[in-house]
Amino acid sequence: MFLRLQIDNFAIIEHSRIEFQEGFSVLTGETGAGKSIIMDAVGLLLGGRAQKHMIRTGADSASIQGVFFTKNEKALNFLRASHIPFEDVIIVERTLYEDRPSISEINGKVVTNAVLREFGATIAFSSFQGETGLLFKPRYQLEVLDKFCGGEQARDLRLLSEVLAKFKTLETSLKEGEKDPATLAREKDLLRYQITEISDLALEENEDEELEAEFRAQSNSSLIADSFAEMRALAYEDGGIRDLMDRFGAGLERVREYDERYGDLQGEFDDIRYGFQDIAARVRDAEGQAEEDPERLEELRNRLDEINRAKRKYGNSIEEIFAFLAQSKKRMQELDAYDELRENRMKEAEALKEEAVKISKQLRARRLKMAKVVEARMEEEMADLDIRGAKFRIDFFETELSTTGLDGIRFMAATNEGESMEPLADIASGGEMSRILLAFVGIFTDMDEREILILDEIDTGMSGKTAKVVSKKMAELAKKRQLIVVSHLPQVVAGADNQYRIRKITEDGRTVSVVESLDYKERIGALAMMISGEDTMQTRETAREMMEARIKEEQ
């Protein structure tokens, strides 16, 4: 619902605030009083183009603020997706400046005009949005027609989205996995070489550590042999460790003969002596084995060089080289199976595309059938609204496969006998456009969540009889959504729930436009003036009868 409109320093409006009510509201006033200015201000709130000449003379800026309340999930989801905070009400503001670009805000967050325009299209129908209005967009027209087609259409649209999502995933996978044949051949050659090189090495776990230990020993065999010779001499030469230990043992033996308390020392020393004798014997044997083997040393050096070259290329350890080998074999298997895998995925993608086309044809069949119904109903509505000789057609054209199928549509109309069909957006007459929009909303009212309908020039070129029909239609529509219209016809004004009169007055030598909310008595007087241009007893009685007739119809 449109709750409030506040305008400051805009055209000839210095300051004005309108508190809109639910139901059917009409804006009235003499030509030039400022009704179009009010509509221009509303248009700016819905994303219309701002012009600097709209700023009131003498002011350096103009401000238009609108307060809205909506339960429309499409509008609320748009705010969420745009990261715009909201609670109970939504405040939209446009500020125009003389010396800089205008600023658009939703709930205090600065947004682009494109964002504002898109948001505006989610909360309100309007007859002055031109090509920016949702009604003129083929995408929205298709969405509305699909809603008219019913539950089966909605089910198939969901199914089509699911099928195309799978198709897109496969298509992306195929594109990402697609390889140039030469590149593929080079990669396979490299992998084959790497696998062969590592496999031919016949590496064993921890082999490098074991070989490095042996290489270290072989490289120092002379030093080791010299050390063993020195140790052997210390052990066995006259006066060596063995002789000293014998003398030490003999001393302990003598002590034990005279004092048994030291007998355990003899036993402990014997253990040490026998242990030493065993070590000395092993050292003597090792001395003979510690001989340099040049052939083995060269063999070890060559093997370690091979392993180290592999480490530089494939990993820092044998474990990492084994991991590289396993990964290379796996990649080779993938490449060997690439053609088969690609062919299978292509077949799967083709099957999904065929299914999507099949579903799209089912969607088209329902659309074509329902289009005839909509065309007939629109022409009936347009005829009732005094658009004589009006024709309405839904043109179909083929599009690329998408989540809506293979169809694009365009609402076409001819508003006079003998005229060619034109897209709705190209229809020049504001009055005709308002009535077409009124007809459209009348047909699709239950299929759109937008709660506000704003119509300008609704009664241009309309007869009194037609005006009464239009008034009834608008009153009916206003039971389900808020309706705000500009009208000059008494029949339309009498049918409204609320009336706002725009007047032009002079203050301090300047012309200003003011807006007044009229009560019942004031409406009788205003309606009397509209009927004949004079406020007389007779015109007041006619006005009262028209107002009471509306009240009785509502009851």
pLDDT in tens, 275-304: 888 888 888 777 766 677 778 888 888 888
- Distance between CA atoms of residues 69 and 481, nearest Å: 12
Confidence of residue 480 (pLDDT cuts 50, 70, 90): confident
- Give residue-wise pLDDT tens across range 167-207: 999 888 887 667 777 888 888 899 999 999 999 999 898 88
CA distances from 213 to 36, 107, 210, 220, 304 (A): 98, 76, 5, 11, 11
Predicted confidence at residue 554, as pLDDT, reads 64
**pLDDT higher than threshold 50 for residue 471:** yes
- Domains of the chain (ranges; CATH) run 1-128+450-517 (3.40.50.300), 519-554 (no CATH)
State the average pLDDT over residues 148-154: 91
Angle ∠(176,177,178) on CA atoms, nearest 5: 95
State the average pLDDT over residues 368-387: 89
In sequence order, the 6+-apart residues with CB closer than 8 A to the CB of 212 are 304
- Give residue-wise pLDDT tens across range 416-425: 887 889 888 7
Among the listed ranges 227-241, 378-392, 419-433, which one has the minimum average pLDDT value? Answer: 419-433
Which tokens belong to 170?
């496969």
**pLDDT higher than threshold 90 for residue 219:** no
**pLDDT higher than threshold 50 for residue 131:** no
CB 43 within 8 A of CB 86: no
Give the Cβ contact number of residue 37 at 10 Å.
20
Predicted confidence at residue 534, as pLDDT, reads 82
Predicted confidence at residue 116, as pLDDT, reads 94
- Distance between CA atoms of residues 144 and 420, nearest Å: 24
Give the Cβ contact number of residue 118 at 10 Å.
16
- Give residue-wise pLDDT tens across range 397-443: 999 999 999 999 999 998 888 788 988 877 756 667 777 878 887 88
Whole-prediction pTM: 0.63
Give the Cβ contact number of residue 453 at 10 Å.
25
Best CA proximity match to 410, nearest among 425, 400, 420: 425
Sign, CA dihedral 176-182-185-189, equals negative
CB 44 within 8 A of CB 94: yes
Predicted confidence at residue 430, as pLDDT, reads 63
In the chain, the percentage of residues whose pLDDT exceeds 90 is 43
Predicted confidence at residue 452, as pLDDT, reads 92
In sequence order, the 6+-apart residues with CB closer than 8 A to the CB of 310 are 197, 198, 201, 203, 321
**pLDDT higher than threshold 90 for residue 253:** no
- Distance between CA atoms of residues 367 and 369, nearest Å: 5
Predicted confidence at residue 461, as pLDDT, reads 66
Helix (H) or strand (E) holding 331: helix 318-336
